[in-house]
């Protein structure tokens, strides 16, 4: 109830300064759709230049380190990302959980680090195809969410993204009934941990969301927006997703 839709592009390892025109055009879309909170989580190299052109879309990062500083070659702290101009960060994306072996505890610590630096945080969870096929998706993802949930989780700085791993970049999505059941289960799980805060916390759907399916997905009761990969890379593709949330 009363949750403002949140639609966030995740550019992953895509984007050079040549693509700043798309950032600018997406920022202009956000100006036209004030009912929707629009953002772009960009490669860290684009955060500062994007802030110069971004209009009404916020600029975020895709990960942050759990420590504030130290001997972590190649890593970026949340404070560094905030200083560059990020106001949000993603944590726990399945590509990082898989490629970098990030655990639920790591993800919770990264969320805490993000909050401490003044960032808002999108925490990703989602099941593999094996888990989905075994019929365990809701209990497994709810457990993953509770294990990844940071201390002090609250709706004013944390959003959840449910992203079935098998739907990311594949063009496949769960049935609308499955999405609805998952989002309901995740809100119920949140309620057991954070009580009334769960009602205000936004739960996004992510995984092959695009202009063709966004309206149907956004209409589901507990879907409060989207985390969008491929369809966020150009303003032309992203526009119908943002408009579907308006």
* 83 belongs to the catalytic site: no
* 14 three-class SS: coil
| Nearest one of 164, 151, 162 to 197, comparing CA atoms | 151
* 183 belongs to the catalytic site: no
Tokens of 95: 């590509």
- The residue ranges that bind ligand PEP (CB under 6 A) are 10, 163, 168-169, 206-209, 227-231
* 170 three-class SS: coil
> Is 208 marked as binding a ligand?
yes
- 85 versus 226: smaller Cβ distance to ligand PEP: 226
> Is 169 marked as binding a ligand?
yes
Provide, rounded to whole angstroms, the least separation between the CB of residue 1 and ligand PEP.
Answer: 26
* 168 three-class SS: coil
- 194 versus 217: smaller Cβ distance to ligand PEP: 217
Active-site residue (options: 95, 127, 163, 183): 163
- 116 versus 235: smaller Cβ distance to ligand PEP: 235
| Nearest one of 134, 176, 179, 139 to 161, comparing CA atoms | 179
> Is 10 marked as binding a ligand?
yes
Q: Is-contact 25 31, C-beta < 8 A?
A: no
> Is 166 marked as binding a ligand?
no
Provide, rounded to whole angstroms, the least separation between the CB of residue 41 and ligand PEP.
Answer: 9
Q: Where are the alpha helices (DSSP H) in 90-195?
A: 94-99, 104-116, 129-134, 137-148, 176-194
Residue nearest to ligand PEP (CB): 229
- 185 versus 241: smaller Cβ distance to ligand PEP: 241
First to last CA, the chain: 15
- 203 versus 227: smaller Cβ distance to ligand PEP: 227
Q: Is-contact 190 145, C-beta < 8 A?
A: yes
C-alpha distances (whole Å) from 174 to each of 92, 171, 184 are: 21, 10, 15
Phi, psi of 63 (to 5 degrees): -175, 160
Active-site residue (options: 93, 95, 127, 183): 93
Provide, rounded to whole angstroms, the least separation between the CB of residue 236 and ligand PEP.
Answer: 15
| Nearest one of 236, 230, 246, 160 to 198, comparing CA atoms | 160
Provide, rounded to whole angstroms, the least separation between the CB of residue 163 and ligand PEP.
Answer: 6
> Is 195 marked as binding a ligand?
no
> Is 14 marked as binding a ligand?
no
Provide, rounded to whole angstroms, the least separation between the CB of residue 207 and ligand PEP.
Answer: 5
Name the residues annotated as catalytic.
Answer: 93, 163
Annotated binding site for substrate: 10-12, 169, 208, 229-230
Binding residues: 10-12, 169, 208, 229-230
């Amino acid at each position: 109830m009363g949750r403002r839709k949140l639609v966030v592009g995740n550019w992953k390892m895509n984007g050079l300064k040549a693509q700043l025109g798309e950032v600018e055009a997406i920022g202009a879309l956000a100006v036209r759709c004030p009912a929707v909170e629009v953002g772009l989580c960009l490669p860290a190299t684009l955060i500062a230049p994007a802030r110069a052109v971004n209009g009404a879309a916020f600029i975020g990062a895709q990960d942050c380190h759990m420590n504030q500083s130290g001997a972590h070659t190649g890593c970026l702290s949340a404070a560094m990302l905030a200083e560059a101009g990020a106001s949000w960060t993603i944590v726990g994306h399945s590509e990082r959980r898989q490629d970098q072996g990030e655990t639920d505890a790591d993800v919770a610590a990264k969320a805490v680090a993000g909050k401490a630096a003044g960032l808002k945080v999108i925490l990703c969870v989602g099941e593999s195809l094996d888990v989905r096929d075994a019929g365990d998706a809701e209990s497994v993802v709810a457990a993953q969410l509770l294990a990844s949930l940071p201390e002090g989780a609250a709706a004013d700085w944390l959003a959840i993204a449910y992203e079935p791993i098998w739907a990311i970049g594949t063009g496949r999505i769960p049935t609308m009934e499955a999405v609805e059941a998952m989002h309901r289960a995740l809100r119920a799980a949140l309620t057991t941990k954070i009580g009334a805060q769960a009602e205000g916390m936004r739960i996004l759907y992510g995984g092959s969301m695009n202009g063709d399916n966004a309206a149907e997905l956004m209409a589901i009761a507990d879907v409060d927006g989207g985390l969008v990969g491929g369809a966020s890379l150009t303003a032309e593709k992203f526009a119908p997703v943002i408009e579907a949330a308006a």
